Amino acid sequence: MKRSILELSRPRLLPLVLLMTSLPHPMCTGLSYCVSPRGLDDSYQGQECKNFSEYLQNASFYFQSNSIFYFVNGTHFVDLNGTLLIQNATNISLVGVGGFKQTMHPIMGAFSESLSKVMFISSSLLFENIENLTIINITFTEDGSLVGQMDSPNVAILRLYDVKNVLIARSLFFNISGASINFIGSVAVVMDSYFLDSSTALEAHEASMIGCDHCTIVGSKCAVNFTDSTFRAEQSTIAYCTNGVVSHALSYMYVTTLSLNECNFLACTDAVSLIDIDLATVVQCAFINCTVGVDAVHIYDQISLYQCNFISTGYPLVATTISNLIAQQCTFTDAITGVNASDSSAQLWQCTFTSCANGLIAYAPKYLINIAIIGRCAMSHVNYSIAAHGSLVGVVQSVFTAYISAGMFVSSEIYIESCTFTMGKSSTIYSIESYIILYDSVSFSNGYSSGYGGAMYLSGSSVIFKAPVNVSFINNTAQLSGGAIYVEYQHSQAYCFFSIYDPDGTLETPNVHLFFTGNSAREAGNDMYASLKCPIDSSGIPLYHSEKQTSESIVRAVSSPALGLAADPTVVCIGEPSTYALSECSDNQTSPYTVQLYPGQYTTVSIATLDEYNGRAPSLLFLRNTNRIIFETLWSQAIGTNYTINSSLQNVTFELIPQAVFISALSGDTNATLISVQVLPCPLGFTFNSSNSSCECNAFLSEQQGVWCNVSNFQIDDVQIYKPSKSWLGTINGALAFHEVCSFDYCSGVTAVDLRKQDDQCATNHSGPLCRGCADGLSEMFGGSQCKKCDNLHLLLLLPFAAMGVVLVFALLTLNLTVSNGTLNGFIFYANIIISIFISWLNLDLGIVTCFYDRMSTAGRLGLQFVFPVYILVLVGLIVTAGRYSTRVSNLCRHNVVPVLATLVLLTYGKLLKTVIDILSIDYIAVAMDNNRTTVTNLYVWKYNANIIYLHSSHVPLFIMAFLTVLLFILPYAILLLLTPCIQTKSDWKILNWVNKLKPFIDSYEGPYIGRHRFWSGLLLLIRIPIYVSSALVEITNSSFNLSVAMFFIAAVVIYLARFNVYKNVKYCYLEMFLYINLIGLCLFPLLYRSRVGYDQDANSTQSLSELHFSYITFVGSVFIVFVAVIVLQEYHQIRKAKGKYTTVPKLTFPELTDPESDASSSHTVALSHENEKESDTGYREELLDD
């Protein structure tokens, strides 16, 4: 029978410690011997010395009871080739008296080494049946000869068999290839000794009782190896050993125990390894940088650890098949697994786990059971705080902080009471097929999961809230679903995941309180992602097929505030991403959602999956055809998913089935959402290509430069054909039509056109071919090309327009701004060129743009352009007529009425010329009469309203009016002023007598010029015609064409002015040259700009127009400043002359336009009078410019 554990307690060894004080001293009675390596040549205290080998060779004589051997300094060699036996004696002492020296060790540093050294050479000592053996102050080493004896049992330099009361103190054992000391059936204490670089420091076998106090063991393969014995160590250090303390019980006859107190284990592979021993106690020990701290297997009674520190130790505590493991107030830092308990019962009290990969791992194989209790512990920055499988785990009053993977990874039954879990980096509880019981007060806060369940991840598990309990879930986050709780879908789950044990409570007054706040999930279920359809009652007993309250209502009753719930989707919605509802989705289960595609096209549909709470949630979708064969899977996001469908499916109807109902769908028990794909014929402008089963541009579009088609790039409701930005593409009466140029006034410059919505390429509400018409119900604006909604109230604008005409006439009369003074001719020409070329080309609109009447068309707008010039001329005619009959009117107008008339006609000429050219402009559109381009024709249309065929409809009267204007005014007026100098020489011809009647009118133009250059006004009128015509052609040619034409004619005029002085006053010539050179600069700048940026760049881009606008403002602004200066100077001198030189105002004599047959003298008088007025006025103007 084993001896009692109490018999082996620490007081039993106390006499051994006191033995040292009772050892024989040299001065006491007894036998004493001097041991010296120098033999008889040395002595100690008057005694002759001998070599240690001489004493050993006659051991029976010298090693008798009460013998003391004093070892002087030096190395004592023992080379007797064998085991030397010392036995059957009492009170044997080996004492070193040679002193000490300081020695350095590469690991432990400096230490004291006895100078009394014993070197064993192929020898060892065996003490047997000795009572009271003492060894003090001796250094032991050997030459390595023990290596050859390692196969023999109990190989050591000192072997003690049945030696009682052994004291080994202040000794050193180093470089021992075997064991330093081997105890068998002995009782010993080793104190203040060093064991360095030995294979094994201490061995104890067969009921030995060994104490090791204040010892240091460094660099051993095995520091302490004891079997069937009791080993106690206090304040000792074991460092850099492969194995620290190894214990193994081999026989049931002996009690094997271990006691470690205030010991340090440093950098050991296995610090403490215990197998089949009875009892182990580890108190206030430190394990630093070890691979394994305490590895215990099958401890019969218990293993206790108290106030131990495990630092940077991979596996501090490994327990296998232990009936009772207790760790109290221990710390585990930087460990792989703090406590690994397999098939054991473990209790952890007031322990601290910091920066560990795992806190507690509790594992029980099948049919076995683990019991783990964690009380008042703290775990911080631990990957898995608790990982349990097949175990019963109780967690009480513990705090879990900043765990990395999971607070608890369990497949067991776990009981949690009064615990706090906070700042986790993964699910706090990751449970697989477990029961989790929450009691009292439990808090889950600031948990984070990169996947599911910031606080709990449950798979086949059940959470039981045992009343009274308050559980709070605060600020937990999941990157996917279930901000606080996530329950993995289990189709065959046979129990409810959520139970409440509250026998004394009701739904109205429960004793269970759940608090959810600040939880969030990126996909679905901010607070909880779980199905709550399983019926349960308040006792937590599942009630399948019951009509009682469902778990959803119970959960909502005990939770606050309102829960953010989501679950595995069971329904699929198709359509635009909006707020879906179950009622909206049910239609897709009875009638398919139809998708129409063209050959080669793809489209996307928006898909959302809904759960039992009518909310969005993510799901894996299975796509199955009509033969119930899965051809694709799709992951549906909680926010909705765009699914791409292509026409390769042909005409087919397929099903979308969520994963949650897929198993039941295999047997046809669910209504799947249906999608029907219909492939349509190719749209207008496309033809079917059988080689790639796709639609492509037809022959007509393929021949147009810059036009291309890609059927896969558009949606079914947006069939787009790509074209150049400056072109127009559309249909006319159902036939394809194309034009290379579309004015930027009318087209927006888009490059993608849907022929069903061709007006989308038009700007400012335009529509129709070339975007030249206005949309239905809109009117063209007077003075511009825009289209807007108008009404007939704008006809009242006739009143201010009429007033403006009167103001214009009287301004010219009053300010003497007429062509007869020579200053306006160049300015009017400059303004005409600017308006005809640059205003339209730069997309500037400087006129009055306004509504005029409802639904005003292009024909109406251009027709109105004739009204204002005619009105002005009629107004002047009325003034002339009034002057004949009224002296007051005659005095008011003085002699300016004819020059004013001439000025207004010249101003009208440019406006009428542009209007006539606009009316007569023609354009053509290429039209394909069929889709395959077998017949293509050019359709000639009116350029400014392509809805009207040229010389058809409302264009006919406008054409006639324009044609008559050209014949009766444009050409005759210009030719008359050009050829008048020649005609006047033949004015005596009867057929030319009418010229004399127009002489005052013609003289208004010719007055400023030298006689031989009086044709100058007519020449400038004729030059306007090609410039205006080239400007009208700008949209069907390169815009540089009209600039080049204008620059050519203007440059010719400048050259002529530089060669010849056409004005009587040379200053007028310089002024006109300045204006024309300014025009040449305006024409030249765009040409140089395009040569710099390249012709491929869009000239109407924002950057291009901004630069051109700046140049326009610069050139025109300089002319405007000169014009204002001329007007101011002219009026200043006119006022000055009126005050200083003219005391009376001569009465204006209006010439009478008499019949050609009238009296010649009268005609001569009129002509002479006009000539005198002309000379007087000319002299005044010349004097004004001289000033």
Neighbours of 583 (CB within 10 A): 8
Residue 90 has what pLDDT? 95
Residue 1187 has what pLDDT? 37
As a whole number, mean pLDDT of residues 971-994 equals 78
Neighbours of 594 (CB within 10 A): 11
Instruction: Pick the more confident residue, 1084 or 1172.
Output: 1084
Q: Distance (Å, rounded) from C-alpha 135 to C-alpha 127?
A: 12
**Which range among 176-190, 633-647, 1164-1178 shows the weakest confidence by mean pLDDT?**
1164-1178
Pairing of strands 922-928, 936-942: antiparallel
Instruction: Pick the more confident residue, 498 or 472.
Output: 472
Q: Distance (Å, rounded) from C-alpha 519 to C-alpha 524?
A: 11
Q: Which of 23-37, 333-347, 796-810, 811-825 has the highest mean pLDDT?
A: 333-347
Q: Distance (Å, rounded) from C-alpha 1168 to C-alpha 1164?
A: 6
Residue 452 has pLDDT above 80, yes or no: yes
Structure token digits, residue 305? 């650890």
Residue 245 has what pLDDT? 95
Residue 3 has what pLDDT? 37
Report CA 549 to chain centroid distance, whole Å.
Answer: 45
Strand order in the sheet with 708-709: 708-709, 720-722, 752-754
Residue 618 has pLDDT above 90, yes or no: no
Instruction: Pick the more confident residue, 433 or 438.
Output: 438
Residue 246 has what pLDDT? 94
Distances (CA, A) of 167 to 91, 156, 231: 11, 17, 15
Q: What is the pTM of this model?
A: 0.56
Residue 1104 has what pLDDT? 55
Q: Which residues pair with 924 in a beta bridge?
A: 940
Q: Which of 225-229, 1126-1130, 1153-1157, 1178-1182 has the highest mean pLDDT?
A: 225-229
Distances (CA, A) of 66 to 69, 651, 737, 995: 10, 113, 132, 171
Instruction: Pick the more confident residue, 1135 or 181.
Output: 181
Residue 1184 has pLDDT above 60, yes or no: no
Residue 507 and residue 554 in contact, taking contact as beta carbons nearer than 8 Å: yes
Q: Please give the radius of gyration of the chain, using alpha carbons only, rounded to the nearest integer.
A: 58
Residue 267 has pLDDT above 90, yes or no: yes
As a whole number, mean pLDDT of residues 341-357 equals 89
Residue 710 and residue 721 in contact, taking contact as beta carbons nearer than 8 Å: no
As a whole number, mean pLDDT of residues 375-401 equals 84
Residue 89 has what pLDDT? 93
Instruction: Pick the more confident residue, 652 or 396.
Output: 396
Angle at 804 between CA 799 and CA 809, to 5 degrees: 130
Give the long-range contacts of residues 803-812, CB within 8 A, separation 24 or more: 805/868, 805/871, 805/872, 805/875, 806/875, 808/872, 808/904, 809/872, 809/875, 809/876, 809/879, 809/900, 809/904, 812/896, 812/900, 812/903, 812/904
Residue 559 has pLDDT above 70, yes or no: yes
Structure token digits, residue 3? 């001896």
As a whole number, mean pLDDT of residues 277-291 equals 94
Residue 638 has what pLDDT? 66
Angle at 431 between CA 430 and CA 436, to 5 degrees: 115
* Contacts (Cβ under 8 Å, ≥6 apart) of 662: 622
Residue 335 has pLDDT above 90, yes or no: yes
Residue 814 has pLDDT above 80, yes or no: no
**Which range among 410-419, 907-916, 978-987 shows the weakest confidence by mean pLDDT?**
978-987
Instruction: Kindly state the helix (H) or strand (E) to which residue 116 belongs, with its residue range.
Output: strand 116-120
Residue 1090 has what pLDDT? 64
Residue 117 has what pLDDT? 92
- Torsion angle in degrees (nearest 10) through CA of 957, 961, 963, 966: -170
Share the mean pLDDT of the chain.
80
Residue 147 has pLDDT above 60, yes or no: no
pLDDT (tens digit, 9 = 90+) per residue, 897-950? 788 888 888 888 888 898 999 999 998 899 987 766 567 888 999 988 888 999
Q: Count H helices, E strands: the chain?
A: 24, 79
User: pLDDT exceeding 90 applies to what percent of the chain?
Assistant: 27
Residue 11 has what pLDDT? 38
Residue 1175 has what pLDDT? 42
Q: Band of the pLDDT at 951, cuts 50, 70, 90?
A: very high
User: pLDDT exceeding 70 applies to what percent of the chain?
Assistant: 80
pLDDT (tens digit, 9 = 90+) per residue, 654-684? 788 787 777 666 666 566 788 888 888 888 8
Residue 1043 and residue 1083 in contact, taking contact as beta carbons nearer than 8 Å: yes
Residue 269 has what pLDDT? 94
- Give me the half-sphere count of Cα atoms (radius 13 Å) on the Cβ side of residue 257: 21
As a whole number, mean pLDDT of residues 476-480 equals 91
> In a 3-state reduction of DSSP, which class is residue 1130?
helix
Residue 136 has what pLDDT? 96
Structure token digits, residue 109? 């540093």
Three-state DSSP string of 74-114: EEEEECCCEEEEEEEEEEEEEEECCCEEEEEECCCEEEEEE
As a whole number, mean pLDDT of residues 95-103 equals 87
Residue 1031 has pLDDT above 70, yes or no: yes
pLDDT (tens digit, 9 = 90+) per residue, 885-898? 777 666 666 557 78
Residue 360 has what pLDDT? 87
Q: Distance (Å, rounded) from C-alpha 298 to C-alpha 315?
A: 18
Q: Which of 79-83, 371-375, 640-644, 776-780 has the highest mean pLDDT?
A: 776-780
Q: Band of the pLDDT at 31, cuts 50, 70, 90?
A: confident
pLDDT (tens digit, 9 = 90+) per residue, 520-537? 998 888 999 887 766 554
Residue 247 and residue 273 in contact, taking contact as beta carbons nearer than 8 Å: yes
